Chains A and B, each alone.
Chain A
């Protein structure tokens, strides 16, 4: 067994953004699927009102997130790579059952493994952006004429918005499950609260760290 050390992985703003965003996504899924007619909880009218306010709040938070990621240079953490990608996939599909160590170490400079980089980049740049974009257009439906958006089709927009919602729900399920794959079941979640993650001692490979230039 290698020695463990604690490193400060997630800053206060990252933790704030993560938990607020998770709460917003949870409530948006809840109210969104009610609007879709999947179940009745708040009542259609309230569900629509909540969904609109939650969605706008999310967009505002997202703007701050993007601003933070850009200005702190943390965007480098999301540059995709295929290096060790298949080792990570191999770890989660077989190594983890054999008790093998994770092939990629976490560090302050490389907090995401290659699979996470791809996932989070896709999530943030494509899925969440698409969801917020379609949501915003949906919300603006009655003003399409003013904004010269009448070429849009509400049905198509709703289909994309719903498809994204399903994808986000699937992501949430897998994401929550993956938090249990740390060296204890709750160590990843604990780190997301405290900012400190316990990792195994070891060197971070050069390729993982994007040098500031």
Chain B
């Protein structure tokens, strides 16, 4: 339709200039719909008060008993949960079952789950995934509370395989964890809010803002400046406003599977997941700026509307494992108050207000498993967006690129899975500080060979930047990309005005202009001198 506006624009310019400006002012489709939806009070749909259910007033001995109580009414819930990636931690599109946290996927943070379960699975929506013998089919192992409780008091202990504590316990001598009041938390349940999702997704990588860059504790109660949709002083969206849910499957990208197969607005299909910006904003969201609408086929909304990420809290930008193990080294705090070193983990670099790295992205990200052969002569892209300028589904998209130095098998040329967490005698690096032992233990646990020789390789890992959408007056300006050394200087395969030129043409062109100036100057001088000469005669 907007194409028609422009097509008409040429002819209307022919006839009447101001028509162009008028033709472009119309409401972006879907905005009104989205506003109406948000205005509705969620309480309208709630028909049960869980604090009045007798079954939730019983004395709960352990968290599994709460789950049993939930399932006594919600009898399909655990069956649904068992099929979701939140439960399996495996990419359902990988027939070999190797892709995913629960498979052999590796990253350049704590690398991989296998052999480190009790520490990692504090973020699993279950109880007791402490090793590979965990029963994924057990109904009462599902943790309903972590996603649904609304008191904010329910905490899973960081090293107890998803269980809360049974007695008050200190973690690393800093944070005290209390046993939950199961009646209070069970009776508080409701639809997941920002803090439910944030319990894990704000703290991925073992701390606030470590992993994502666009998700950290500042997103629990953001203002409009930080997130124009979630701002509590504005639309006050919670996560599930966009991450819509279908039988406990939450909309979002899963490894190589894009968050949505097509970019449809609710006007085209009102049952479409609302996960894409286009779901509400359509493909022509700019009311008066047609040139901006012209970009939406090739430039993702996020590229312009998230000028920087980690705008309130810092995020980890680099993790160098190769320097780990120096227990005597003095740890300094950086400008953000974050430690620059941890003897267990190595050197860290944190960043704030980071400008994203841009890549062509068709919604799929290619990951690396501990079975994939790598090329250590170049930085290993442990995960990287798929797409290029020719891919009709690819658009330019912003990313956080987390770099690091990560252990790999020097002989077999694969990334390795070290055992990091465990008691002395288990080979765990954080107990014995011996990489060879840790890698041997981790590889063996995961059924992978190890040559016995390791080294550290430069690695990169990407996170799509899609949260922290800034108010529109802070959008990236045209010239930040349309410039010789702009944000998109790394992208290839297309011509971009203001960035690209042919050096030879520029040189030749200015030479022609220079020659013309010189020519007329000399010609003029010649006329002047000869006329002076003639006058003398």
Contact surface of A with B, Cβ cutoff 8 Å: 35-37, 40, 43-45, 48-49, 56-57, 60, 92, 96-99, 140-143, 146, 153-155, 158-159, 162-163, 165-167, 169-170, 173-174, 177, 180-181
Contacts and interface: CB of A to CB of B under 8 A. Distances in A.
A44 B524 CA distance: 37
Contacts of B500: 155, 158
A35 B498 contact: yes
Contact of A97 (B297, B502, B530): B530
B233 interface: no
Contacts of A43: 477, 479
Contacts of B482: 35, 37, 44
Contact of B497 (A35, A98, A142): A35
Which of B17, B495, B510 gathers most chain A CB within 10 Å?
B495
Contacts of A142: 3, 6, 294, 297
B524 A162 contact: no
Contacts of B536: none
- What's the dominant secondary structure at chain B's contact region? helix
B14 A173 contact: no
B180 to A, nearest CB: 54
Interface in B260-291: 291
B7 A166 contact: no
B294 A36 contact: no
A163 B509 contact: yes
B517 interface: yes
20 contacts: A43-B479, A49-B291, A60-B14, A92-B523, A96-B527, A99-B530, A99-B534, A142-B6, A142-B294, A143-B3, A146-B7, A158-B500, A159-B502, A159-B505, A162-B506, A166-B510, A170-B515, A173-B517, A177-B524, A181-B527
A154 B495 contact: yes
- What's the dominant secondary structure at chain A's contact region? helix
Given A60-B14, A97-B526, A154-B494, A44 B479 contact: yes
B516 A170 contact: yes
Nearest to B481: A44
B509 A166 contact: yes
B166 interface: no
B513 A44 contact: no
User: How many interface residues does chain B have, given as a range?
Assistant: 35 or more
Given A142-B6, A177-B524, A166 B498 contact: no
B526 A167 contact: no
B530 A36 contact: no
A177 B517 CA distance: 9
A140 B483 CA distance: 22
A158 to B, nearest CB: 6
Contacts of B3: 142-143, 146
Given A44-B482, A48-B478, A163-B509, A174 B498 contact: no
B393 to A, nearest CB: 15
A162 B513 contact: no
B498 A37 contact: yes
B501 interface: yes
Contacts of B10: 56, 140
A56 B513 CA distance: 26
B499 interface: yes
A45 B497 contact: no
Nearest to A46: B478
A167 B6 CA distance: 30
Contacts, number: 100
B484 A174 contact: no
Nearest to B521: A177
Contacts of B499: 37
Given A45-B479, A181-B527, 19 more contacts: A35-B482, A37-B482, A40-B479, A44-B478, A60-B13, A60-B14, A99-B530, A99-B534, A140-B6, A142-B6, A155-B495, A159-B505, A163-B509, A165-B509, A166-B513, A169-B513, A173-B520, A177-B520, A177-B524
A48 B291 CA distance: 9
Which of B477, B502, B523 gathers most chain A CB within 10 Å?
B523
Interface in B503-537: 505-506, 508-510, 512-513, 515-517, 519-520, 523-524, 526-527, 530-531, 534
B483 A37 contact: yes
Contacts of A167: 512
A36 B483 CA distance: 9
Nearest to B297: A142
Contacts of B483: 37, 44
A50 B484 CA distance: 21
A143 B505 contact: no
Contacts of A163: 505, 509
A36 B524 contact: no
B288 to A, nearest CB: 11
B277 to A, nearest CB: 19
A170 B524 contact: no
A60 B512 CA distance: 29
Contacts of B515: 170
A98 B530 contact: yes
Interface in B76-129: none
Contact of A143 (B6, B508, B523, B527): B6
A169 B500 CA distance: 21
Shortest beta-carbon contacts, A-B, top 10: A166-B509, A177-B520, A44-B479, A155-B495, A97-B530, A142-B294, A170-B516, A45-B478, A173-B516, A154-B495
Interface string B374-398: 0000000000000000000000000
Contacts of A181: 527
A170 B484 CA distance: 25
A180 B520 CA distance: 11
B7 A180 contact: no
B62 to A, nearest CB: 61
B13 A180 contact: no
Given A37-B484, A37-B501, A173 B534 contact: no
Interface in B32-76: none
A167 B499 CA distance: 22
Contacts of B506: 162
Contacts of B294: 141-142
A98 B531 CA distance: 8
A68 B6 CA distance: 28
Contact of A170 (B495, B497, B513): B513
A162 B505 contact: yes
A166 B512 contact: yes
B498 to A, nearest CB: 5
A174 B519 CA distance: 8
